[in-house]
Amino acid sequence: MQPLKPRLMTCRGRDFLWGTRTFIMGIINMTPDSFAGDGFTTDISSALDKAIEFEAMGADIIDIGAESTRPGHSAVSVDEELGRLLPAIDAILPRVNLPISIDTYKPQVAKRALEAGASMVNDVWGVREDTEMLELAASKQIPIVIMHNQLKPSYVDPVKDVIASLKATTNMALQCGIEGKNIIIDPGFGFGKTADHNIEIMRRLFEFKNLPYPLLIGTSRKSTLGLISDVPVNERLEGTIATVALSVANGADIVRVHDVREALRASQVADAIVRNWRPNHWVK
């Protein structure tokens, strides 16, 4: 299959020309119970330092979440989520010139975050049957990441089933008034899937390019990598980098990661081979 033609999305004054290179989304967790052990909760100073560091390392987007999405996590109220999230946005926005994405499935949280200066919504429940998040994104004319997720890991064919679900949800997004250029899809590695499902999705990731939207993949430090290598969460960097390179080779446009420097370097090498990308300092 031929790759998508380059397509432009603009977010907070930055151009994202899909198909030219891989873009890096750096994760900042404002939670006490992040599975990766990197939650800042109310430590706004450290969160700001991390965002500044990510920008210096070459990140393209900062993704801030204030409710853990790990298996067995405790849900938090809208007020508690906003109490963690808004101070972080207020601190980071004037100091970092990157788009801020908000990792939430609650429209009330997304609305307040966008009013505070966020530029993108990353919905880990893919809006499901609730159109309120889609209507919000349409009214604000901002990009939205639609991720596949479900409660039980039951599939006939995990790849075909996830693609069908994403197709239905993105069609709903278009019907709600979201422009196609503002839709990003995520197959939801680690969400509502067994380790074998996750591996199958990675092996057949190129099939998601049949959908006409940029593709985000988030494998960073996840349990499937630990299961493969039999290592704890703090020793999954190499596994993460392997999946980053494989994701680029199979058409990913954005990789969502905790380790920005390492992921960027891996994606640059993969992009040079797969997309014929070259850095600015390259001398021919």
Query: Taking 70 as the threshold, does the pLDDT of residue 149 lie above it?
Result: yes
Residue 7 lies in a domain: no
For residue range 205-264, list pLDDT tens digits in order.
999 999 999 999 999 999 999 999 999 999 999 999 999 999 999 999 999 999 999 999
Total domains in the chain come to: 1
Q: What is the extent of the structural domain holding 44?
A: 18-274
Tell me the pLDDT of the chain averaged across its residues.
93
Domain CATH number, residue 80: 3.20.20.20
For the beta carbon of residue 260, count every other beta carbon within 10 angstroms.
24
Average pLDDT of 132-146? 96
Give catalytic residue positions. 222, 256
Nearest to 143 by CA among 113, 172, 117, 181: 181
Task: Write out pLDDT tens, residues 21-80.
Answer: 999 999 999 988 665 556 787 899 999 999 999 999 999 999 999 997 766 567 789 999
Question: Which residue, chain included where needed, has tokens 């432009």?
Answer: 8
Shortest CA distance to 166 belongs to which of 181, 146, 150, 183? 146
Query: Given a cut of 50, is residue 2 above it in pLDDT?
Result: no
Q: Is 173 a member of any domain?
A: yes
Cα atoms found within 13 Å of the Cα of residue 167, Cβ hemisphere only: 12
Is 31 a member of any domain?
Answer: yes
Give the tokens for residue 146: 């639609």
5, part of any domain: no
* 280 occurs within a structural domain: no
Cα–Cα separations (whole angstroms), residue 236 to 79, 196, 216, 227 = 33, 18, 20, 10
Domain-located, residue 85: yes
Query: Which of 178, 167, 194, 101 minimizes the C-alpha distance to 135?
Result: 178
- Separation CA 275–CA 284 (nearest Å): 17
243 belongs to a structural domain: yes
State the average pLDDT over residues 107-115: 97
Residue 188 domain flag: yes
